[in-house]
Amino acid sequence: MNLPKNEKIKVEFKNVAKQFGDRVILKDFSLQIPEGKTVVILGGSGTGKSVSIKCLLGLLNPDKGDILVDGKSVVKLKEKHQYNLMKKFGMLFQFGALFDSLTNWENVSFAFLEHGMDRDKAKKIAIEKLALVGLGKHVADLMPAEISGGMKKRVSLARAICTNPEIVLYDEPTTGLDPITADTIDRLIVEMRDKLNITGIAITHDMQSAFKIADYIALLYQGEIIYYDTVENTKTTDNPYVKQFINGEENGPIDFFSN
């Protein structure tokens, strides 16, 4: 699918390849992420979704191909440029990844505290971000162990947006949550996109969540993006690969045991 001409490309993977030993993970992986939109990458376990994100963040270097952010290559950056690139990103980890020894506000403002920001100022910012995800001021001084799993996910989302990132990466944002809490997280992701013009890249196996948060849906199979279209078109597609994945059917063109 070619994106509409009015879409500005924020992130682009161009023919990216990555393998470990003899095992090919990504092969000719190409994908365009429009600015201010959320793209959900679907794919079975071990298909390379997380590897693509690690390549984007510079945690792994592609064997071939290129990755562009705002039209500039981010592959094999020098340390100073890599540090500046990271300022553009926020991350919502699969299980929150909060620090148990820190209060919730300290978790949210961790990046600021690490770089020497005054604690009172950092706490004020954290409380503002917690409010954006529907958490009151009283939550700030609690420890992660004192709040529910859904609240932990909200604190993690507040941390992901604390530094006003341009791009947020969501790793299984609704994993382990009950349906009502998962729906709340999905709503917040959409609100953050609309209010803050955040460009989102999400990895999820939760199709209900994918349909709620996505503007575009991509399917990764055997190291390549084999499908890419709007969420509306995806809901009614006749593509056999997508239909099999959405319906979770064992029989179909996708070999779930080939990875």
Query: What digits encode the pLDDT tens for the residues 101-131?
Result: 999 999 999 988 888 889 999 999 999 999 9
CATH code of the domain containing 15:
3.40.50.300
Inside any domain, residue 158: no
Inside any domain, residue 117: no
pTM tops 0.85, yes or no: yes
Inside any domain, residue 139: no
Inside any domain, residue 13: yes
Q: What is the rounded CA–CA span in Å between residue 84 and residue 61?
A: 17
Domains held by the chain: number = 1
Query: Which pLDDT score is estimated for 175?
Result: 78
Inside any domain, residue 32: yes
Per residue, the 3-state secondary structure of 28-94, as one string, reads EEEEEEECCCEEEEECCCCCCHHHHHHHHHCCCCCCEEEEEECCEECCCCCHHHHHHHHCCEEEECC
Give the 3-state secondary structure of residue 20: strand
Render pLDDT for 183-224 as a digit per residue (tens, 0 to 9): 988 998 998 899 889 999 999 888 889 999 999 999 999 999
Render pLDDT for 227-249 as a digit per residue (tens, 0 to 9): 999 999 999 999 999 998 888 77
The candidate with the shortest Cα–Cα distance to 155, out of 183, 178, 179, 136, is 136
Inside any domain, residue 194: no
Inside any domain, residue 59: yes
Q: Is the Cβ–Cβ distance between 130 and 139 less than 8 Å? A: yes
Inside any domain, residue 84: yes
Structure token digits, residue 14: 């161009």
Range of the domain at 24: 1-88+167-174+199-259
Q: Which residues pair with 183 in a beta bridge?
A: none
